[in-house]
Structure 1
Amino acid sequence: MTIEYSGKGDPARSLALLWRTRERTSRKGKPDLSVDRIVRAAIEVADADGLQALSMRRVAERLGVGTMSLYTYVPGKPELLDVMLDTVYGTVYGTVDGEQDEPEEVSGDWRERLRHIARANWALYRRHPWLLQVATSRPVLGPNVTAKYDAELRAIDGIGLTDVEMDQVITLVTGFVHGTARGAVEASQAESQTGMSDEQWWAAHAPFLGRIGDTARYPTASRVGQAAGEALGGAYSAERTFEFGLERLLDGIEALIHRRTGHSG
C-alpha cells in the first residue's frame, strides 16, 4: 500500500488554501472552477479508485478541463491532498446548516460521547478508505481538522482528566479506530483483489487443514479458533472486533478517571 504524507506542501500556500484566504475567481470565458469543485472531484477520484489513482490530470479529466487550469486554484498535489483531508474530516459528524453536529450534543455520559466519536470516525474511514493511506503525524492545520479536534476534546472536558490526558484519550480512541478500520477495509477489499470470497478461500484450504491440523499439538489454538470461527461466522469480523475493543478501551479510560477522581465520571 502506497503511503502519502500530509503537510508536504508549501506551508504558506497550504494554509492560504485551507483557510481560503486567497481564493481566485474564474476568468471570463473560462469554466467555472473553484477550489471546492476541484477538491470534490479529487475526493471522488480517490473514493472510486484509491489514492494511487489521484493526480492533477485525473482530477482535470473528471472536471472536463485542462490540467494546467487547476494550478490557478491549487498549487499542486501535496496542497490538494491537505485540503481533501480537511474537507472530509469536516463531514465526520455530519453537518447541520453548514455547522458541525458536535459530539457533546449526543445524549448520555462521557462513555456514550466517546462511542459516538469512535463510531463517527469508523464510518468516515469506511466512506473514504483512502484516508488510511495518508500518514498524518504532521497534522493538516485546517479549519475542519481544528474544529473536529476541538469538538472531540469538549466531549470529555470536565470529567476529571488533565489537559494532556484529554489529548491522549482522543489520540488513543482515534488511533484505535484507525487501526481497526484498516483491517476492516483490507478484509472488505480481499475478494475484489484476489478474486476469491472468504467462503471460497476456506473451502479451498479446508482439505489441507484437515491433514496438517494437529489438535494435540496446538490444543488452545484449535479450541479457541473453532469457537471464534463459529461465533464470528469466519476467521475475522471487523465490526465485532471494533465493538469489543472500543468497550475495553472505555473500561481503561474509566479506570483512569476513577483513579483521578474517586468515581467513574
Structure 2
Amino acid sequence: MDFERSLDLLWRDKGETPQPTRGRKPKLTLDKVIATAVALADAEGQATGSMSQIAKELGVGTMTLYTYVPGKAELLDLMVDSVLAERDLPGPGDPLPDGWREQVRLYADRTLTVFRRHPWIQGMSMVRPVLGPGLMAGQEYLIATVSDIGLAPRKAAAAANGIEVYVQANAALTAETAQVEQQTGQSTDAWWGQRSVFWEKYFDVDRHPAMTRMWESGGYDVDTCEAVDEAFVFGLERMLDGIEALVS
C-alpha cells in the first residue's frame, strides 16, 4: 500500500486535488469512484468487491480506476473515511447541543447511525485507523467536548478515548448484527426463536440461578434489538456519570 499516496487522496481538499496518475483524460471523479464502491459494499454487506466489479458498476474498464487510486487498499481507506465523514459532526465555531453530555450523545447517535447504514465498516480495523478527515473530525469533536469540563489534560484525553472506544465497539456490534441479518435473510429474533428448544430442554435452572431469577422477574422482557440499544444507552450514561463525578 502506498501510504503517502493514500494520505494525498484522503486530504485532497488541501491545496490542489491530485490528478490521475496515468491514462487518458478522466471520465469520472474520485468522489464518484468512492461513492460507487461504498454503494457496492452496502449492497453486498461487505467491502469485498474487486476493482473489476467497481469498474463494471461505473461502466468503465478496470484499468481506468487505477488512474484515480493506486489499488484496492487505498480505495478502502477512502471508503472508510467517506463513511465516517457522514457523521457531519459540528466543527470549530459551529453550533453545539447544550451541555457536554448532549454533545457526547450526538457523537454516539451519529456514529451508530453510520455503522447501521454501512454494516461492512465493522470489518475495517480501528486499531490502525485511516488517518483521514472523517476520523479526525470525530476525534477533534470529542476532545473539544471534554477538554473544558474541568479535567486535567491527560484525564480529558483518556475520557475522550474511552468514549470513542465504547461507542465504536457497540456500533460495530450493531453493524455486525445488521450484516448477519442481511447476509442470512433472517432476523436475530427469528434466529433465537428457532433455538427455543435450548431453553426448554437444555437450560439448567439450578446451574444458572441468577439468570433464572432475572428471567422470572422480567429482566429479559424485551426483544434482542431493544436489549442491545438499552444496554448501550445504560453503559454510556454510566460512563458519563463517572466522568461527571470525577469533575465534581
TM-score interval (norm. to shorter): 0.7 to 0.9
Q: Secondary structure at the match of 1:45?
A: helix
Q: Secondary structure at the match of 2:195?
A: helix
Indicate the residue corresponding to 1:252 in structure 2. Answer: 242
Given candidates 60, 69, 83, the residue that maps to 1:65 is 60
Q: Secondary structure at the match of 1:33?
A: coil
Q: Figure out how many residues of one structure are paired with residues of the other and give that number.
A: 244
Structure 2 CA distance for aligned equivalents of residues 161 and 72 of structure 1: 48
TM-score calculated relative to the size of structure 1: 0.79
Structure 2 CA distance for aligned equivalents of residues 249 and 164 of structure 1: 17
What is the one-letter code of the residue matched to 1:233? D
Structure 1: 5+ residue stretches without partners? 1-8, 95-99, 259-265
What are the superposed Cα offsets for residues 227-246 of structure 1, whole Å, 9 maximum, x if unpaired?
2321x235972211211111
Indicate the residue corresponding to 1:118 in structure 2. Answer: 108
In structure 2, relative to structure 1, the CA distance for the partners of 1:235 and 1:52 (3 Å cut) is closer
The answer to whether the Cα contact below 8 Å between 2:118 and 2:175 also exists between their aligned partners in 1 is: no
Indicate the residue corresponding to 1:13 in structure 2. Answer: 5
Structure 2: 5+ residue stretches without partners? none
What is the one-letter code of the residue matched to 1:242? F
What is the one-letter code of the residue matched to 2:4? A
Structure 2 CA distance for aligned equivalents of residues 237 and 155 of structure 1: 28
The answer to whether the Cα contact below 8 Å between 1:103 and 1:152 also exists between their aligned partners in 2 is: no
The answer to whether the Cα contact below 8 Å between 1:85 and 1:140 also exists between their aligned partners in 2 is: yes
Greater displacement, 214-223 / 9-18 = 214-223
CA RMSD of aligned residues (A): 2.8
Note the C-alpha offset of 1:208: 4.7
What is the one-letter code of the residue matched to 1:59? I
Note the C-alpha offset of 1:140: 2.2
Note the C-alpha offset of 1:90: 1.6
Given candidates 116, 127, 133, the residue that maps to 2:123 is 133
Q: Secondary structure at the match of 1:105?
A: coil
Indicate the residue corresponding to 2:144 in structure 1. Answer: 154
Indicate the residue corresponding to 1:5 in structure 2. Answer: none
Structure 2 CA distance for aligned equivalents of residues 58 and 170 of structure 1: 39
Which aligned pairs between 1:6-45 and structure 2 lie closer than 5 A? 9-20=1-12, 21-24=16-19, 32-45=27-40
Structure 2 CA distance for aligned equivalents of residues 11 and 208 of structure 1: 50
Structure 1 CA distance for aligned equivalents of residues 138 and 155 of structure 2: 17
What is the one-letter code of the residue matched to 2:86? T
Structure 2 CA distance for aligned equivalents of residues 76 and 27 of structure 1: 13
Indicate the residue corresponding to 1:229 in structure 2. Answer: 220
TM-score calculated relative to the size of structure 2: 0.84
